[in-house]
Structure 1
Amino acid sequence: MLETLLKRLLQSIVVLWAMSVLTFCAVNLIGDPVHLLVSPTATEQEIAEARHALGLDQPVQQQYLHFVQGAMRGDLGDSFIYNRPAIELIVSRVPATLELAVTALLLSLAIGIPIGIFAGLKPGSRLSRLLMACSLGGVIMPTFWIGMIGILVFSVNLGWLPSGGRGPVSTVLGVPLSVTSWEGIRFLLLPALTLSLFKISLVARLTEAGTREVAGQEYIKFARAKGVGGARLVLRHVVPNVLIPIVTVVGLEFGHLIAFSVVTESVFSWPGMGKLIIDSVLALDRPVVVAYLLVTLVMFVVLNLIVDLLYVVLDPRLRHKAA
């Protein structure tokens, strides 16, 4: 177990270094932000002074070296637009994005797993085929279109849910959350459901395939022969074996929810990292873009590590091998 953990940590460090190089180089190919930060009537000398103050007149290698040294101290530079530390801006938006992503993940599990188990246990029923057919809708329909339809139906026509923004927040253990009040949940529900639709389809289809495979195993037939049935059969014998691949996929998909919540946050004006990165890209705010990409990358690496460890814990065969 310890050897597996050390290997994964070493691989994670290599991935972080490689992606930091790629991220920094890619972002430094995006235009020159100096002309957005100085007056249109600025002289060449003033432009040169601004470029020097931002460190943009140095060679790319020197800029990257300063970037790495600062990153190791937790300093990813100051935003060109907000004149605040880039990492501080990102961290201030993390709670809103995580709240949206976690809610979407919980919705996808709460809806997708029961649908998949029912469809897997009743593969020939009309309801099962209907549910699997409907699950394709979450895959083929684009998120921004689903979001706008949701706003039109539930906000404009029915008036049940707000069309955008974040509701009132309360601080819980130093973290601002909106799920602590019903009004905050009303603001959260529509963007979270929009973000979760693709994951609901993914979880449902993955669970359905796993349930059909598990239901044909000998130990399931033996359990039924012993008189085990109904909810006990599903909870004791089917669900634990189906959860192993689901944990792997869902753990990785949670990282995707965080990284690709940009569209949902833009549609619903949700004040998370996604909306911040869109504004920063349009303004060529390089430090914020780099900080966002690296923070997101760290989240991906940590989630992958957690998923690997959970996979070993859930699968006795892997746990025995790791031991």
Structure 2
Amino acid sequence: MAFIIRRLVQSVVVLFLTSAIVFLGVYAVGDPLEILLPADASMAERAQVVASLGLDRPLYVQYAAFLGNALQGDFGRSFVFNQPAIQLILQRLPATLELAFVALILSIVIGLPLGMWAGLKPRTAVDETIMTGSILGFSLPNFWQGMMLIMIFAVWLGWLPSTGRGQTGEIFGITTSLATVDGLRHLFLPALNLALAQIALVIRLTRTGVQETMPLDFVKFARAKGLRERRIVGVHVFKNILIPLVTVMGVEFGSLLAFAVVTETIFAWPGVGKLIIDSINNLDRPVVVAYILVIVTMFILINFVVDLLYAVLDPRVRGRS
């Protein structure tokens, strides 16, 4: 209980500091009136818009008003769309969550077996090939990978579409691309693009974990008991490498959400990442601030859940907490 309370207090402090830094940073950049008003707007029109947006008040007053409203779930209205900023984000967030979730699944489904294979075959052609591929996944820029995927699978081969979300359907009342074949075809390329760096990370983590675990005494004892190698690897070794993997991948899911911006821009995916790019270009301050605070809040929640899972997987953590 003390651990949970301590983490909650830390989370509140982080959110408060983040809100102050982001608000001051965003509101110190540019003048939204240059975009919202035509060049021939009169001084009276400019003054009216400034007053309606509250931009004529001191910055600390604007922040105090913003903070008070944010505690009630109100992050202000978009300058461009004239809608509540949080409403715009929540409308786009499911598409980004879907993209990040599928990317995470792909990174585990592809990276975990490849990492275990490389770890069980150290210093062989298999190990060298897999590790070389993982290095490329880390080193090549995400936008370049996305363009190459479009070039190969959409332009040259014509197998998959390159833009948009495609047809959606409902699963348990949730609108998702996973419910239709056309949606899955549109989802695969951006999800793979977003997952490539995480696939490389999972491969390296898994390979290292397998190589560190195989020489340990409990593995030798399991062999001495006559257990089959498949059971030793699939149960005992896998459970041991799962602990750090769960921790890292939990944090990486937050990174997938935050850094889906590039992928969504390349593939014209209608998620919150594309919304934030448009909002930055239009100096739509309420949307930018609301987006960052929502992402930070999700990061904190994900880290909290990961800590709980880590404690479940490793009882020693509960003892220290």
- With the shorter chain as reference, the TM-score category is over 0.9
Q: In structure 2, what is the equivalent of residue 134 of structure 1?
A: 133
Structure 1 unpaired stretches of 5+ = none
- Separation of aligned partners in 2, 1:174 and 1:278: 29
- Separation of aligned partners in 1, 2:173 and 2:52: 35
Residue 179 of structure 1 aligns to a residue whose secondary structure is: helix
Alignment RMSD: 1.0
Could you tell me whether the CA contact under 8 Å between 2:95 and 2:176 is conserved in 1?
yes
Q: In structure 2, what is the equivalent of residue 52 of structure 1?
A: 51
- Separation of aligned partners in 1, 2:181 and 2:172: 19
Could you tell me whether the CA contact under 8 Å between 1:80 and 1:285 is conserved in 2?
yes
Task: Note the C-alpha offset of 1:180.
Answer: 0.7
Q: AA paired with 1:60?
A: L
Which runs of structure 2 are paired with 1:69-148 in the superposition (5 Å)?
69-148=68-147
Task: Note the C-alpha offset of 1:5.
Answer: 1.1
- Separation of aligned partners in 1, 2:171 and 2:70: 29
Which runs of structure 2 are paired with 1:177-216 in the superposition (5 Å)?
177-216=176-215
Task: Note the C-alpha offset of 1:316.
Answer: 1.8
- Separation of aligned partners in 2, 1:226 and 1:234: 14
Task: Note the C-alpha offset of 1:46.
Answer: 1.1
Q: In structure 2, what is the equivalent of residue 171 of structure 1?
A: 170
Residue 235 of structure 2 aligns to a residue whose secondary structure is: helix
Which runs of structure 2 are paired with 1:213-228 in the superposition (5 Å)?
213-228=212-227
Q: In structure 1, what is the equivalent of residue 316 of structure 2?
A: 317
- Separation of aligned partners in 2, 1:55 and 1:165: 36
Could you tell me whether the CA contact under 8 Å between 2:100 and 2:256 is conserved in 1?
yes
1:162–1:199: structure 2 CA closer, same or farther, 3 Å change rule? same
TM-score, normalised with respect to structure 1? 0.97
Give me the identity figure in percent.
50
Could you tell me whether the CA contact under 8 Å between 2:311 and 2:317 is conserved in 1?
yes
Q: In structure 2, what is the equivalent of residue 233 of structure 1?
A: 232
Could you tell me whether the CA contact under 8 Å between 2:98 and 2:176 is conserved in 1?
yes
- Separation of aligned partners in 1, 2:60 and 2:28: 13
Q: In structure 2, what is the equivalent of residue 292 of structure 1?
A: 291
Q: In structure 2, what is the equivalent of residue 267 of structure 1?
A: 266
- Separation of aligned partners in 1, 2:260 and 2:42: 41
Could you tell me whether the CA contact under 8 Å between 1:248 and 1:308 is conserved in 2?
yes
Task: Note the C-alpha offset of 1:320.
Answer: 3.3
- Separation of aligned partners in 1, 2:32 and 2:3: 44
Task: Note the C-alpha offset of 1:122.
Answer: 1.3
Residue 9 of structure 2 aligns to a residue whose secondary structure is: helix
Could you tell me whether the CA contact under 8 Å between 1:35 and 1:47 is conserved in 2?
no
Equivalences, count: 321
Which runs of structure 2 are paired with 1:155-166 in the superposition (5 Å)?
155-166=154-165
- Separation of aligned partners in 2, 1:181 and 1:293: 31
Task: Note the C-alpha offset of 1:167.
Answer: 1.1
Could you tell me whether the CA contact under 8 Å between 2:223 and 2:229 is conserved in 1?
no
Task: Note the C-alpha offset of 1:174.
Answer: 4.1
